Structure 1
């Protein structure tokens, strides 16, 4: 599994490329099947609903408010501070059998009975599903446009085979993350879209570091097959990849466990995306470029003939 190449220990990652492709294909197929059957659990940002602003005399206890609402049949309510510690915003899914005033009254009564405080309702609004549809479309377009821009950038910066490998690996990360969210029915809101875009940027940065070393080694190492050079390049950047991913995951795990309900989904998306992205940077992106037939000649700098040389070489 280990071989000595240019005085460096090189791990034969490409040896496991077929197994990695099979695993990735199974995960993507499972993700597509899950999304097709269970779809996504869209949050209020996408489905629309009722927004209620509530004022307290003293700083609000958000966990206590959530418990009181859940006890009164409003377990889907999203509760968060709005401005100061005494201002609270409650968001709920649409209720077909209840108008806005009736719903607001029930929410106020549930909060009063659960907290024992005097509560003032300051504003109540209804957000229609049309706004949610526009947000869903804009979020999907943002991810798609980012992948296309990445494809163009890497094609110019490196080579189209590497660009294809990078973009397919990024799509691989996003699809698997979305599939896990569909499987667990985690509520998807705008913070999840932001997390997916963050995962795309993080995974791309890791992949670019590996590709830069691959290009450098293709030009420096005159001996060795493309697979051996890729193994050496990934091995040389492996410590950087693991240290960066490890330190980032420490922070994300802290957010996931201690960050509270409001950023739980965001932290979960980062946790899954960074883990899958690290795997794809090592086993998927480079292996895909290798399968597309990349060779040393594709990455060599073309020689530029100096002006007049062609005339000097003529008989």
Structure 2
């Protein structure tokens, strides 16, 4: 194998941890720019649809930043935490108890509070639509317990989380005070759309997967979802290397592909959603069937 080039050896760009995150920064700037433009000039369907897509993109960036911060400087990461909080409509700090300490530790197994089969071992459109609400209902008590413990053992970190909550709530209240209709249409609904996708992606990636198999706990997607949304479809590699930068996931995915059940390797997200969630209830041959052995214990150890 040839020696890596200097650019490959050091992918950073100034304080930015990886030069590929110029795409992340573009999304983080373009989404509010479209919101402000429509706030001033009125809602335009192409711009609104682009803003909804970017709201999903912000959710993925939120996820990636929680695993591996965008910057090599703490002050810039703190500023990005606040920027994502304002754009996402929810504090970035909750990713640690809800996702890193829960979902990644238990890999959709019995210890995962928001495992999809906790709410029924199904894989259909209604299950996907309800999963974010069900997941939030079981995750938020754990988040509140974590915050209470944080207040006792790390008051400074607790105050940082409170600042994020305050920023989120003040931003909503300020927008509503200026113009309630525009606030709902251009700020709150797109943020809720992004949050629904963030939690609903868990359902797409794990429903009817097999948490008892070593590499069977996640579904993987190819296609355009990966270049557009930071390789979010390559989920097994991400679970196995939670601190790897998202740009490395295609090469890491190739290591695991042969060990993953072919039924968990989808050529594209849109085709999977159409076949499984839309056509499945109508045409039995497209209906999803669980790969999980009921009552089986996970075959892996916790991180």
Could you tell me the TM-score, scaled by structure 1's length?
0.26
More strand as a share of residues:
1
Larger relative contact order, structure 1 or 2 (CA cutoff 8 Å, min sep 6): 1
Which structure would you say has the larger Rg? 1
Could you tell me the TM-score, scaled by structure 2's length?
0.27
